[in-house]
Amino acid sequence: MTRNSHARQGTVGLVLGLMVLLVSSGCASGAASGAVVPDVTSTPTPEVQVVSFATAAPTSTPRPATPIPTPTPIPPSNTSAPPTPTLTSAPTVPLRPENENPLTGLPVDDPALLQRRPLHVRVGNDPGARPQVGLSDADLVYEEIVEWWVTRYTAVYLSKTPEMVAPIRSARLINTQLTPQYDAALINSGGSDGVRWELSQLPIVNLDEYFWPEPYFYRENQGWQTRLAVNTVAARQLMEREGMEAAVPLRGFTFSDEPVGGDPAETIFIPYPKQTSPVEWRYDPGSRRYLRWVSGEPLVDFANDLQISAVNVIVYYAEHLPTDIVEDSNGATSIRIIVNGQGRAQIFRDGVVIEGLWRTDGTQTPEFVFPNGQPIPLKPGNSWIEVVPTEYEVVVE
């Protein structure tokens, strides 16, 4: 209760006390002369203001060496809770060789690498953020639209721990559904109050830079769009020390080296916002991989100067809902992307496209299936998952 509300209650109580005193003292003359006793019980109580103490980013460096206690979040009034998926049956985790990565289908030298949480690393993709560092080490990468004008990545790391992934950006509403699917640790540089509040309501490991600064650092001779980076080795060490690390039973995906029938698909054009992020994937028969272009330019990894490529490109059609959660100083608003439930999917591998569905109850990684429910096998290797609005027309040639 605010200090002003205490003062108002004290004023009302004083008036009531005076009235009772007057009546009990036999002030009959007032009653006899027709004086009216005020009806204080009918006086409207002024509305009490609730003050929101928003989480604020630090304004100076260096950042503190120890975690800052997170204030109790207050739910924003301008957002609705995400829908809860309907549970049809408990997700099953398939039996695999102990050294098989469930996210790539590839063997690892040390099976212990798979007995830990995936890392979900938020990476920028605005034109000034390119070229990114460390994307070629990710087991898979999700791409989604943010604020309707640009795209951003959630890079997923399980088998590898690069010492630098950059540039690190803030979380978005998609991570409230995506990160629980993997029981992952979310690596991000904060977020809007609305997004931070929703993330705070989830039982996830959230390594928000402002509260866990240890694994983050600034790259030398870089501008604000590219300078913030994370060392995933340090992030793993922090999680182990703080009791955040855990072996996560991942359903993962179905894999097969055998080609799957489908229509030819040598070029994929995804009409992300044309001023910043239109994407093209071109199939390279020599490597049997899709090579990535953004805004007409090859996208390379700054760490090794190699063009980004994937053995599987998956187009994930999902409902995009507007919100009034403000994300920047220009008033751009956040998008609620529904990646739980079921929807259309296109799986590209070996130069062909397979039509199917994605489905997940939100507690496990999505399944990719044919319309009859049988799993669509991915090619062993890394994948890029392109999350697009349901009305998008992806051009395949």
- Give the DSSP H/E element, type plus range, for residue 241: helix 232-241
**CA–CA separation, 314 and 143 (whole Å):** 10
Domains along the sequence of the chain with CATH: 111-396 (3.50.90.10)
Q: What angle do CA 114, 117, 119 make, to 5 degrees?
A: 110
Please tell me the predicted confidence (pLDDT) of residue 122: 98
Residue type, 390: T
**CA–CA separation, 323 and 80 (whole Å):** 8
Report which of 231, 187, 240, 190 is spatially closest to residue 70, judged by C-alpha positions.
190
- Give the DSSP H/E element, type plus range, for residue 337: strand 333-338
Sign of CA dihedral 93, 94, 100, 102: negative
DSSP string over 169-230: ----TTHHHHHHHHTPEEEES---HHHHHHHHTSSSEEEETTT--TTEEEPTT--TTT-EEE
What is the phi-psi region of residue 362: left when phi exceeds 0, alpha when psi lies from -120 to 50, beta otherwise?
left
Residues of the chain falling short of pLDDT 70: 1-91
**CA–CA separation, 139 and 132 (whole Å):** 16
Place of tokens 């640009």: 150
Whether 282 and 293 have beta carbons less than 8 Å apart is answered as yes
Count of CA atoms in the C-beta half-sphere (13 A) of 334: 24
Q: Tokens representing 65?
A: 């060496």
Q: Which residues of 299-317 are buried (b: 16+ CB within 10 A; e: fewer)?
A: bbbbbeeeebbbbbbbbbb
**CA–CA separation, 149 and 274 (whole Å):** 8
**CA–CA separation, 240 and 90 (whole Å):** 29
Alpha carbon 176 to chain centroid, angstroms: 5
Whether 333 and 327 have beta carbons less than 8 Å apart is answered as yes
Measured between alpha carbons, how far apart are the two ends of the chain, in Å? Answer: 64
Report which of 301, 161, 169, 184 is spatially closest to residue 231, judged by C-alpha positions.
161
Please tell me the predicted confidence (pLDDT) of residue 130: 97
